[in-house]
């Protein structure tokens, strides 16, 4: 599997990271270098092997249903680059 | 009956499947301790976890797990003791994490089925594909500012159950009945309040068309539907749109379409959809969700009687008609109200009064049952007064009117207005005698064979007694006197 | 008064207790040292006022007879830990101006035990790097230099600022985080001790996430005992982290008995890399000999899938990161670069906000999870990870701990491994396998390279058996008797 320029542009768009046109080709080369190296995983027999789902040998803990958090609008929006009346503000979204 | 669209090339059948998003009834959010209540000040019910601040981590709400299992049991579905939370990755300003925690390959509830009752008395089975838990997103407000969108994260992280049906429905009506049935079940279970206006129940509708007997056609997913009426309109519009495309020799693109209730049409969301690749993978901040059979059984033991068994019992044990039983079980509040009224009384009488008088008055005054001025014990008392002969059915309706307007109890009204039915033969006899004496010519006509005049005398006597005379007793005494 | 910064945490604890000096004095000495260490660029944010206030409060507590485990001890905090109202950057442009309104669990635990924060330590951007060359705030410099050479060297990464601060005596200890070796490798490069606990031992709540299934906070200090003291204060069950394990925290310091007689120590043959430098091989052998001399039983073991740990790691970590870092979107905190619409704003913000290495990993991770490639990359890597974890499980049936080198080389110069990311990734070859398996590991300085640079040996243990790791590390430390310190050229 090898990534071309267009594929890099597509992945960059998925990741919402601007990559300048001139940088696509070198980025493709860098990614292909890494992916080529990763190909060696194919040598490992993983038939009937479950993927690792949890690192620690434990069960998911559940929390009791109680309101224990929230109620601090100021803290929530304190770091916002743009805000208005307790809302976060972003450029108009057209749906 | 399915909906058939008659096209130029023949009949087309509509195939419908639904994804219902139902907000889990809980105090707090799926993965944070912030309140899940509706309608607070912007961002006031948001924790650092909901706002996806750096380093914040999810911890699951046990109530959400319980409610999902309870709903699964109510849908006669397979409960999965092992399920997995995945991240669904996409960028949107009201999705702070940049992913929604959902369940993709291994949902908490698997296949199930429910029955829906159609108008013609037919019952249909609709398959449930799965139910999974997921987070709701926040809210974008576009109309507060000319060039900005405002983001409120209060809903962000609220627990949702997504209930996915099989493509088993064939008409907008069936889809509507299905949605109402799901709504009824979750409300019985107490797992969702079913409030579509506040958005605690929303539906995405998958619509395709085909020639009867053919393979399924390509489907479109219709989003942004927040009422049953809009859903039906959207299905009709969409099905016709697809038929038009196909008959013109085109093909339907599988896509997500937005329903516009103002224009009454659906439109493509393709621009947003174009680069969509959700990159699902198990959320590494969470472990798989696991529980044992005992947990499921504990929940099963607390399940209430659901609408289908309740309806069957109303028909079989209480002797109600299937129609009345269906009306009474549709809403849990109604069924509870009815059962409280019918307890120890004539069930049919109770059903008539609830469906006829009570519903009539509620409709006329646009009140919900919860707002009814006449509580179940009050209506019960009124029925008792009818049954023991204290008042007639006709007087009872007057009394009910008064109860509904003033909230007073039936006994008090009867007492206050002196509406007690008179069964004292002496008083009735005196009234009859006076009426006959005052109308000698009519009495003579009756005797000569004009039987219809009996009603006239009956009416005069009731009038003379202000309607309080027991009609049975009046008949009993009046007849021999006129015949004499 | 002798130089208080040269004390160990254990010695400072005793000195404070005896009243030989106050927390204010101890902190003042470190604030001076921190200021003098500016050429090392170990700190992104220095917080001397916060430190003085905390030290004053500490002295007051001690006067009342209330002293925590780290009462009055000045520490550096890796700038990946969110600290309330103190700039937290993850060494990234994208977190410009971010002042958290909350405190991470680990740092809360430290403050509850009386510790004093000197400042926020520099690191590789979002902890992605092995040389601390990817920080938006500039390279961190290793206090060590090659003998007869005055060129700057890297401190390792990603906890390079923490390592440099501790090695330069600016801080008595520091918090680090280890995802694939980010505590152990810089510890090895700077001649200090770095401990990565078992995954789940320290809470990740409030630590800027890189790869959730791998990230684990841990202590860095100048002795095994000091890291044991620190870990005891940092660790503990946290109900706010679903992967935090509900287990009592042992008295780690008490585990340092100095007795490893009969302890079975495994030597994995797969760690003997082809072309491994002779001095690393020799140091490893030296370590084996020391352990044997102390009464341990040395057992040759095999961890057959070792070779595949790095490529698996470089799929899993970027994949998780690609999702974890999606929240840096310019909406709620940090940098925003305006655009003509939302997507433009996202792409501009993230294009400008992330550095080259972070972007590279986010693209790899996004690709590894994307439709059509998930099975071949992410799923495959997670299956290989299962096999690696299974290798360790098998090994621990016959051994109690495993001894390996920490890194394949000593510290190197800036730009020496710049061109090929793969060459940089190889730095983590010995540390990554235990990270994938979630196991505890420690790096202990064990000797000097021929250039006079420190080299570390790594000890790995069973899950939640940090005590054995500390015990063996204590013996190794004593045998190695590593007393070398860097010449303090930076004080100029």
pLDDT digit of tens for each residue in chain C (492 aa)? 469 999 999 999 999 999 999 999 999 999 999 999 999 999 999 999 999 999 999 999 999 999 999 999 999 999 999 999 999 999 999 999 999 999 999 999 999 999 999 999 999 999 999 999 999 999 999 999 999 999 999 999 999 999 999 999 999 999 999 999 999 999 999 999 999 999 999 999 999 999 999 999 999 999 999 999 999 999 999 999 999 999 999 999 999 999 999 999 999 999 998 878 899 999 999 999 999 999 999 999 999 999 999 999 999 999 999 999 999 999 999 999 999 899 999 999 999 999 999 999 999 999 999 999 999 999 999 999 999 999 999 999 999 999 999 999 999 999 888 678 888 888 899 999 999 999 999 999 999 999 999 999 999 999 999 999 999 999 999 999 999 999 989 986
Burial class of residue B110 (count of CB atoms within 10 Å of its CB; 0-12, 13-18, 19+): middle
Q: What is the pLDDT of residue C417?
A: 83
Res. B341 pLDDT band, cuts 50 70 90: very high
Host H or E run for residue B106: none
Q: What is the spatial distance between Cα B352 and Cα B383, in angstroms, rounded to a whole number?
A: 11
Q: What is the pLDDT of residue B192?
A: 97
Quick count: other Cβ atoms within 10 Å of Cβ C454? 24
Q: Which residues contact B273 (CB under 8 A, 6 or more apart)?
A: B255, B256
Q: Which residues pair with C61 in a beta bridge?
A: none
CB contact under 8 A, C359 and A54: no
How close, in Å, is residue B37 to chain C by CA atoms? Answer: 22
Q: What is the pLDDT of residue B414?
A: 86
Residue of C nearest to A89 (CA): C331
Q: What is the spatial distance between Cα C268 and Cα C403, in angstroms, rounded to a whole number?
A: 8
Residue A19 lies in a domain: yes
User: Which domain does A12 fall in, by range?
Assistant: 5-42
How close, in Å, is residue C291 to chain A by CA atoms? Answer: 29
How close, in Å, is residue A8 to chain B by CA atoms? Answer: 13
Active site residue C158: yes
The token pair that represents B341 in the structure block: 């009224």
- C370 in contact with A at a CB cutoff of 8 Å? yes
Q: What is the spatial distance between Cα B179 and Cα B185, in angstroms, rounded to a whole number?
A: 10
Q: Which of B11, B34, B37 is nearest to B23 (CA)?
A: B37
- C61 in contact with A at a CB cutoff of 8 Å? no
Q: What is the spatial distance between Cα C362 and Cα C331, in angstroms, rounded to a whole number?
A: 19
Residue of A nearest to C323 (CA): A15
CB contact under 8 A, A56 and C438: yes
Residue A65 lies in a domain: no
Under a CB-based contact definition with an 8 Å cutoff, are residues B33 and B45 in contact?
A: no
pTM for the whole structure: 0.92
Domain ranges of chain B: 4-299, 305-417, 425-483
Q: What is the pLDDT of residue B274?
A: 55
DSSP string covering C177-197:
EESSSTTHHHHHHHT-EEEEP
Give the model confidence (pLDDT) of B392-404 as tens digits. 888 899 999 999 9
What is residue C173's DSSP assignment? E
Residues from chain B contacting residue A63 (CB–CB below 8 Å): 33, 59-62
Cβ-nearest to C100 among B53, B57, B280: B53
Under a CB-based contact definition with an 8 Å cutoff, are residues B457 and B442 in contact?
A: yes
The arithmetic mean of pLDDT across residues B45-52, rounded, is 98
Residues from chain B contacting residue A54 (CB–CB below 8 Å): 287-288
Judged by DSSP in three states, B129 sits in strand
Q: Which residues pair with B99 in a beta bridge?
A: B89
Q: Which of B111, B115, B90 is nearest to B100 (CA)?
A: B90
What are the strands, taking DSSP E only, across B53-137? 60-61, 82-83, 86-89, 99-102, 112-117, 123-135
Res. B448 pLDDT band, cuts 50 70 90: confident
Residue A72 lies in a domain: no
Q: Which of C418, C417, C468, C458 is nearest to C435 (CA)?
A: C458
Q: What is the pLDDT of residue C82?
A: 98
The domain at B425-483 falls in which architecture? Answer: Orthogonal Bundle (1.10)
- C437 in contact with A at a CB cutoff of 8 Å? yes
Please name the residue that has the structure tokens 């208080």.
Answer: C4
CB proximity under 8 Å: A 23-42 to B: none
The token pair that represents B332 in the structure block: 């849990």
How close, in Å, is residue A79 to chain C by CA atoms? Answer: 5
Give the model confidence (pLDDT) of B302-337 as tens digits. 999 999 999 999 999 999 999 899 999 998 899 999
Q: Which residues pair with A84 in a beta bridge?
A: A87
DSSP string covering C271-306:
GS-TT--HHHHHHHHHHHHHHHHTTPEEEEE--TTG
Residue of A53, A65, A82, A93 to mutate for B, most B C-beta atoms under 10 A? A65
Give the ipTM.
0.96
Q: Looking at beta carbons, which pairs linking B220-224 to residues 24 or more positions away fall under 8 Å? A: B220/B252, B220/B253, B220/B254, B220/B255, B220/B256, B220/B257, B220/B266, B221/B19, B221/B255, B221/B256, B221/B257, B222/B256, B222/B257, B222/B258, B222/B259, B222/B266, B223/B256, B223/B257, B223/B258, B223/B259, B223/B269, B224/B258, B224/B259
Q: Looking at beta carbons, which pairs linking B258-264 to residues 24 or more positions away fall under 8 Å? A: B258/A95, B258/B222, B258/B223, B258/B224, B259/B222, B259/B223, B259/B224, B259/B225, B259/B230, B259/B233, B259/B234, B261/B230, B261/B233, B264/B233, B264/B237
Q: What is the pLDDT of residue B72?
A: 98
Q: What is the pLDDT of residue C90?
A: 98
Residue A28 lies in a domain: yes
Active site residue C182: yes
Overall domain count for chain A: 1
Residue A78 lies in a domain: no
Q: What is the spatial distance between Cα B204 and Cα B218, in angstroms, rounded to a whole number?
A: 16
Spell A78-90 as b/e; 16+ CB within 10 A means b: bbbbbbeebbbbb
Q: Which entry of C130, C182, C435, C449 is annotated as an active-site residue?
A: C182
Q: Which residues pair with B102 in a beta bridge?
A: B86
CB contact under 8 A, B279 and C322: yes
CB contact under 8 A, B54 and C209: yes
Q: Which of B176, B164, B160 is nearest to B127 (CA)?
A: B164
Residues from chain A contacting residue B275 (CB–CB below 8 Å): 10, 13-14
CB contact under 8 A, B60 and A62: yes
Residues from chain A contacting residue B41 (CB–CB below 8 Å): 73, 86
Active site residue C277: no
Q: Which of C160, C171, C164 is nearest to C144 (CA)?
A: C164
Dmax (CA) of chain A: 57
Peptide bond into B284 cis (omega under 30): no
Q: What is the spatial distance between Cα B226 and Cα B214, in angstroms, rounded to a whole number?
A: 31
pLDDT score of B421 more than 90: no
Residues from chain B contacting residue A66 (CB–CB below 8 Å): 27-28, 33
Give the model confidence (pLDDT) of B253-279 as tens digits. 999 999 998 998 899 886 544 557 999
Residue A85 lies in a domain: no
Size of interface A-B (CB pairs under 8 A): 132
SS3 for B433-471 is HHHHHHCHHHHHHHHCCCCCHHHHHHHHHHHHCCCCECH
- C86 in contact with A at a CB cutoff of 8 Å? no
CB contact under 8 A, A60 and B269: no
Q: What is the pLDDT of residue C418?
A: 66
Residue of B24, B33, B278 to mutate for A, most A C-beta atoms under 10 A? B33
Quick count: other Cβ atoms within 10 Å of Cβ A29? 11
Q: Which entry of C37, C69, C78, C203 is annotated as an active-site residue?
A: C78
- A18 in contact with B at a CB cutoff of 8 Å? no
Q: Which residues contact C334 (CB under 8 A, 6 or more apart)?
A: A79, A81, C94, C95, C96, C97, C98, C328, C353
Residue of C nearest to A43 (CA): C308
Residues from chain A contacting residue B57 (CB–CB below 8 Å): none
Quick count: other Cβ atoms within 10 Å of Cβ C292? 12
Under a CB-based contact definition with an 8 Å cutoff, are residues B186 and B192 in contact?
A: yes
Q: What is the spatial distance between Cα B466 and Cα B418, in angstroms, rounded to a whole number?
A: 9
pLDDT score of B412 more than 60: yes
Cβ-nearest to B52 among C104, C327, C378: C327
Residues from chain A contacting residue C100 (CB–CB below 8 Å): 79
CB contact under 8 A, A58 and C245: yes
Give the model confidence (pLDDT) of C157-198 as tens digits. 999 999 999 999 999 999 999 999 999 999 999 999 999 999
Residue A35 lies in a domain: yes
How close, in Å, is residue A80 to chain B by CA atoms? Answer: 11
CB contact under 8 A, C204 and B98: no
How close, in Å, is residue B22 to chain C by CA atoms? Answer: 25
CB contact under 8 A, C323 and B99: yes
Domains of chain C: 4-260 (3.90.1300.10)
CB contact under 8 A, B60 and A60: yes
Res. A1 pLDDT band, cuts 50 70 90: low
How close, in Å, is residue A40 to chain B by CA atoms? Answer: 22
The token pair that represents B395 in the structure block: 């007087």
Backbone angles phi, psi at A58, to 5 degrees: -155, 170
Q: What is the spatial distance between Cα B208 and Cα B391, in angstroms, rounded to a whole number?
A: 59
């Amino acid at each position: 599997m090898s990534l071309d320029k267009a594929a890099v542009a597509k992945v960059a768009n998925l990741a919402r990271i601007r990559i300048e046109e001139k940088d696509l080709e070198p980025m493709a080369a860098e990614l292909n270098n890494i992916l080529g190296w990763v190909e060696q995983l194919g040598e490992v027999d993983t038939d009937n092997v479950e993927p690792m789902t949890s690192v620690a040998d434990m069960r998911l803990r559940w929390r009791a249903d109680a309101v224990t958090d929230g109620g601090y609008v100021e803290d929530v929006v304190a770091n916002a680059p743009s805000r208005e009346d307790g809302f976060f503000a972003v450029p108009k979204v057209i749906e | 009956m399915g909906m058939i669209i008659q096209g130029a090339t023949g009949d087309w059948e509509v195939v419908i499947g639904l994804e219902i998003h139902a907000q889990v009834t809980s105090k707090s959010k799926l993965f944070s301790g912030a309140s899940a209540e509706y309608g607070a000040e912007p961002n006031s019910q948001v924790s650092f976890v909901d706002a996806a601040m750096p380093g914040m981590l999810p911890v699951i709400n046990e109530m959400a797990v319980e409610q999902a299992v309870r709903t699964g049991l109510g849908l006669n579905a397979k409960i999965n003791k092992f399920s997995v939370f995945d991240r669904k990755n996409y960028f949107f300003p009201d999705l702070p994490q940049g992913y929604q925690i959902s369940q993709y390959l291994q949902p908490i509830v698997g296949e199930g089925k429910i029955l829906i009752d159609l108008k013609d008395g037919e019952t249909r089975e609709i398959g449930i594909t799965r139910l999974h838990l997921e987070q709701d997103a926040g809210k974008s407000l576009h109309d507060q500012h000319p060039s900005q969108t405002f983001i409120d994260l209060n809903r962000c992280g609220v627990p949702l159950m997504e209930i996915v049906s099989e493509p088993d429905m064939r008409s907008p009506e069936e889809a509507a009945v299905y949605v109402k049935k799901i709504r009824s079940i979750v409300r019985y279970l107490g797992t969702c309040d079913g409030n579509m206006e506040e958005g605690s129940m929303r539906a995405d509708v998958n619509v395709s068309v085909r020639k009867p007997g053919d393979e399924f056609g390509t489907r479109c997913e219709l989003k942004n539907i927040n009422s049953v009426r809009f859903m039906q309109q959207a299905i009709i519009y969409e099905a016709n749109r697809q038929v038009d495309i196909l008959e013109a020799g085109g093909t339907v693109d599988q896509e997500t379409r937005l329903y516009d209730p103002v224009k009454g049409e659906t439109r493509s969301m393709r621009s947003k959809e174009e680069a969509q690749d959700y990159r699902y993978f198990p959320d590494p901040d969470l472990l798989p969700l696991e529980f044992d059979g005992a947990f499921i059984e504990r929940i099963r033991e607390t399940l209430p009687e659901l609408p289908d068994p309740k309806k069957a019992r109303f028909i079989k044990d209480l002797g109600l008609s299937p129609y009345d039983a269906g009306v009474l079980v549709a809403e849990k509040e109604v069924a509870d109200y009815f059962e409280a009224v019918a307890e120890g009384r004539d069930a049919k009488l109770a059903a008539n009064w609830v469906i006829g008088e009570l519903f009539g008055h509620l409709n006329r005054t646009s009140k919900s049952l919860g707002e009814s001025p006449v509580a179940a014990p009050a209506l019960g008392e009124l029925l008792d007064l009818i049954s023991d002969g204290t008042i007639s059915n006709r007087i009872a309706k007057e009394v009910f009117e008064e109860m509904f307007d003033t909230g007073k109890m039936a006994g008090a009204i009867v007492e206050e207005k002196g509406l007690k039915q008179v069964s004292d033969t002496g008083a009735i006899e005196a009234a009859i005698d006076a009426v006959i004496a005052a109308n000698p010519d009519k009495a003579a006509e009756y005797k000569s064979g004009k039987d219809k005049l009996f009603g006239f005398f009956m009416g005069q006597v009731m009038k003379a007694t202000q309607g309080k005379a027991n009609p049975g007793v009046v008949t009993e005494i009046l007849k021999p006197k006129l015949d004499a | 008064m002798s130089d208080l910064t040269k004390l160990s945490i254990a010695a400072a604890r005793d000195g404070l207790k005896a009243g030989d000096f106050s927390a204010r004095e101890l902190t003042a000495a470190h604030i001076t040292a921190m200021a003098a260490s500016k050429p090392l660029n170990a700190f992104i944010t220095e917080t001397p006022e916060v430190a003085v206030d905390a030290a004053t409060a500490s002295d007051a507590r001690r006067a009342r007879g209330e002293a925590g485990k780290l009462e009055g001890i000045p520490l550096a905090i890796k700038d990946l830990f969110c600290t309330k109202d103190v700039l937290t950057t993850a060494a990234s442009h994208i977190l410009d101006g971010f002042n958290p309104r909350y405190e991470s669990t680990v740092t809360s635990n430290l403050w509850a035990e009386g510790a004093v924060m000197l400042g926020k330590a520099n690191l590789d951007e979002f902890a992605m790097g092995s040389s601390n060359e990817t920080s938006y705030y500039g390279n961190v410099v290793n206090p060590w230099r090659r003998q007869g050479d005055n060129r700057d060297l890297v401190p390792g990464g990603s906890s390079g600022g923490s390592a440099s601060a501790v090695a330069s005596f600016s801080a008595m200890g520091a918090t680090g985080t280890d995802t694939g070796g980010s505590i152990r490798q810089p510890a090895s490069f700077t001649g200090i001790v770095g401990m990565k606990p078992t995954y789940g031992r320290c809470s990740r709540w409030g630590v800027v996430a890189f790869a959730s299934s791998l990230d684990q906070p841990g202590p860095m200090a100048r002795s095994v005992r000091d890291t044991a003291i620190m870990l005891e204060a940092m660790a503990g069950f946290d109900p706010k982290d679903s992967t935090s394990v509900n287990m009592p925290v042992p008295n780690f310091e008490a585990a340092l008995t100095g007795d490893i007689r009969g302890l079975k120590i495994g030597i994995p043959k797969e760690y003997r890399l082809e072309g491994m430098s002779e001095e690393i091989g020799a140091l490893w052998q030296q370590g084996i000999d020391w352990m044997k001399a102390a009464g341990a039983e040395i057992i040759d073991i095999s961890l057959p899938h070792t070779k595949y740990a790095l490529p698996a790691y470089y799929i899993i970590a970027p994949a998780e990161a690609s999702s974890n870092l999606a929240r840096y979107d310019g909406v709620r905190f940090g940098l925003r670069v305006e655009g003509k619409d939302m997507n433009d704003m996202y792409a501009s913000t993230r294009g400008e906000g992330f550095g080259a290495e972070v972007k590279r990993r986010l693209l790899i991770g996004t690709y590894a999870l994307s439709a059509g490639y998930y099975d071949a990359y992410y799923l495959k890597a997670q299956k290989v990870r299962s096999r690696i974890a299974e290798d360790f499980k098998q090994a621990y049936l016959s051994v109690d701990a495993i001894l390996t080198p920490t890194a394949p080389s000593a510290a190197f110069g800036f730009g020496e491994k710049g061109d090929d990311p793969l060459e940089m990734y190889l730095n983590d070859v010995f540390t990554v396998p235990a990270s994938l398996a979630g196991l505890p590991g420690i790096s202990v300085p064990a000797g000097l390279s021929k250039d006079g640079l420190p080299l570390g040996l790594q000890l790995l243990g069973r899950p939640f058996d940090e005590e054995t790791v500390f015990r063996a590390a204590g013996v190794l430390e004593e045998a190695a008797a590593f007393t070398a310190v860097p010449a303090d050229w930076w004080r100029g």
